[in-house]
Structure 1
Amino acid sequence: MSKFKLSDTMQFLSGRFNAIVGGEVTLTLEADSQDVKAGEELRAFAKLRSPEKDRQIDYLLISLKGQVQREGKWRDFAQSAEVAQATTLPADHEFVVPIVILIPSDAVLTEDGGSWSLSARAFVDKTIDPRAELAIKVGA
């Protein structure tokens, strides 16, 4: 008997649901580089597309998560921003949001066990919210 991930099943089901209500909305994240130095900017793009019909974007949530070292201890770090509120997404048009976000100078480096990720989640009418995530390698 083969095993499958719950996330794969949810992605399949959300894709089927979105196809029934008018086409799957896709969200992708692309970074200029997934390797960045602590204290420098990460540059990326979130790309949203609705293949078959116009959609209304309620908002797009962009988040950076990782760990920082403060007062000799690792602490969780999270930063989020809502963008593109109440924006129309025309059918078969790619809506691109540029992302420039500063990696903290006290970031725990990936080689030291730190885990960093950039994620995006789109809240779009009549769809199951598409999501995308990128692992980021933070170095010195």
Structure 2
Amino acid sequence: AEVLLLDPYTDRDKLDKTLKQLLQLEPNSPTYLNAYAYTLALQNRRLKEARQYAEQALEYAPEQASILDTLGYIAFLQNDYEAAAEALGKAYELSHNINIGIRYAKALYMQGSLTQFSAVLQQLKQKHANDPQLQQLDALILPTSAKKS
């Protein structure tokens, strides 16, 4: 439970040590593997190792949106937009969480899949009409003349 209270930025070393201890106790726990992978992703460090943890977690819990989200987030940070879009698309399909949807849309945009990006953006706008996070996605598709106003 303590691990949930630790900040991934200010408590970095303590969190790292605690998560390693948990993985020693239960090396096949998808929860612990995902927690460690996501923590490393948030810190934007050791991404190759983080991706391995996320992939291992998925082997034990293949239909878990949070693990797919972590894998997609890590792939995005590694500029592997195809893998990011694939994992985030599955995660969004399972959960319809707005944060996952936004990450999915960004991965589609970076991959150059603008038709799919627009479709996901419209879906997000319908389900979460007043969410300010969607404005950043709008900014990606507005023509430059419209951005100046």
TM-score for both structures, normalised by structure 2: 0.24
Higher relative contact order (CA 8 A, sep 6+): 1
TM-score normalised by structure 1 residue count: 0.25
Structure with the higher helix share, 1 or 2: 2
